[in-house]
């Protein structure tokens, strides 16, 4: 696709139409996957019921919470060096994760009969959401783009990851340290090395998802696709975690009703860090790290674009202290915007890529 396309030449679809297509597509997929697995879609242990219930629940709760966020003056601070089209979004409420994450977690716990593995991933998800809330709150309090310090954020992420890994160590079979490699029927025994890898995955996935949250509907939609696919993958061995993934996927869809372009609310770090933690914790519990890597392809590329931008800038820094930029702006979605893509073009293309990655895993 030519990066010089104008919005009129590219994807000609509204934000509400794009969100509706995604919702219908995921609901249809959930129903089909349930039918293929001989699960009744209206049963609690299915993909369809948690997905639809949480989509409806978080969508309805949003109509009550968003005015409250507006009254509390939780308006987003927009970077002045970013795409100029984003400046008009200043003042849009943020911290939207405080309503759709709890809705998904609560419904998942109830439908799974409070299975211990669901409680564990729920605790990790809410813990990372708390880190995000602290970051969002500091940004709003200081009225700048700087929240808690990077060192503090990393320390909290590592700390909660360590607690989750300790729970894994004492509550899961010892073969959890063997990484299953698909397609070759081979497992890679990591032994003690599995634990630092697990901590890295939790921290990296949450931060990668956070970096993807920069355009209306982008993170909510791509994570909804990844979560539903992960839920379908783990269904045969971990039905409780299947329900958890479907519930959070539905929560993302309900949030998307308010976050689609033009957004009435942003998820903030409260939502994005929690979603990344949810994906990583489920993958660690179910030995699906390879699948997680594929499903997180978009988040991975977004992260690489930031790392490449920073590294190139430092490597080309001259005597004046200024370096060259590899991209017009990082992460990648902002670079595409500054080269002429509209927000809806970026979101639509990324949804398609996320769906292809999900299909590869499910195939």
> How far apart, in whole angstroms, are the C-alpha atoms of residue 123 and residue 129?
10
Contact between 5 and 345 (Cβ < 8 Å): yes
Residue 259 counted as an annotated binding residue: no
Provide the CA 82 distance to its chain's centre, in angstroms.
22
> Residue 44 burial (CB < 10 Å; 0-12/13-18/19+)?
middle
167: Cα separation from own chain's centroid: 23
- Any binding-site annotation on 178? no
Residue among 295, 279, 200, 291 at smallest CA distance from 241: 279
> Are the C-beta atoms of 316 and 324 separated by less than 8 Å?
yes
22 token code pair:
């995604």
| Separation of alpha carbons 340 and 333, rounded Å | 11
Angle of helix 239-259 versus helix 116-142 axis, rounded to 10: 30
44's tokens: 């609690």
Q: How far apart are CA 354 and CA 297, in angstroms?
A: 8
Q: What is the DSSP string of 47-72?
A: SHHHHHHHHHHHHHHHHHHHHHHHHT
189: helix, coil or strand? strand
Give the contacts of 263 (CB within 8 A, at least 6 positions apart): 89, 92, 216, 217
Annotated binding site: 210, 269
Annotated binding site for Mg(2+): 210, 269
């Amino acid at each position: 696709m030519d990066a010089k396309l104008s919005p009129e030449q590219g994807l000609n679809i509204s934000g509400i139409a794009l969100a509706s297509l995604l919702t219908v597509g995921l609901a249809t997929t959930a129903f089909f996957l349930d039918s293929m697995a001989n699960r009744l879609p209206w049963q609690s242990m299915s993909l369809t019921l948690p997905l639809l219930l949480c989509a409806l629940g978080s969508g309805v709760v949003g109509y009550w919470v968003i005015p409250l966020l507006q009254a509390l003056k939780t308006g987003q601070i927009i970077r002045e060096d970013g795409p100029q089209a984003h400046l008009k979004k200043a003042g849009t409420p943020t911290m939207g994760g405080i309503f759709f994450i709890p809705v998904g977690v609560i419904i998942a716990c109830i439908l799974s009969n409070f299975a211990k593995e669901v409680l564990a991933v729920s605790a990790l998800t809410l813990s990372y959401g708390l880190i995000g809330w602290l970051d969002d709150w500091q940004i709003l309090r200081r009225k700048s783009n700087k929240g808690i310090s990077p060192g503090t954020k990393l320390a909290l992420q590592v700390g909660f990851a360590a607690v989750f890994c300790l729970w894994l160590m004492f509550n899961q079979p010892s073969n959890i340290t063997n990484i299953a490699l698909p397609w070759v029927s081979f497992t890679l025994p990591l032994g003690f090395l599995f634990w630092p890898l697990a901590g890295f995955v939790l921290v990296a996935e949450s931060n990668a998802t956070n970096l993807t949250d920069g355009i209306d509907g982008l993170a909510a939609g791509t994570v909804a696709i990844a979560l539903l696919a992960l839920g379908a993958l783990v269904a045969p061995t971990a039905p409780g975690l299947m329900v958890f993934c479907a519930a959070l996927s539905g929560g993302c869809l309900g949030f998307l009703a308010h976050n689609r372009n033009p957004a009435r609310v942003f998820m903030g770090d409260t939502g994005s860090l929690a979603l990344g933690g949810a994906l990583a914790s489920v993958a660690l519990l179910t030995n699906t790290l390879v699948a997680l890597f594929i499903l997180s392809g978009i988040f991975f590329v977004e992260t690489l674009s930031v790392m490449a931008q920073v590294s190139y800038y430092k490597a080309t820094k001259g005597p004046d202290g200024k370096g060259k930029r590899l991209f017009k702006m990082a992460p990648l979605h902002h670079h595409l915007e500054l080269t002429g893509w509209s927000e809806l073009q970026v979101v639509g293309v990324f949804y398609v890529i996320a769906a292809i990655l999900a299909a590869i895993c499910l195939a």
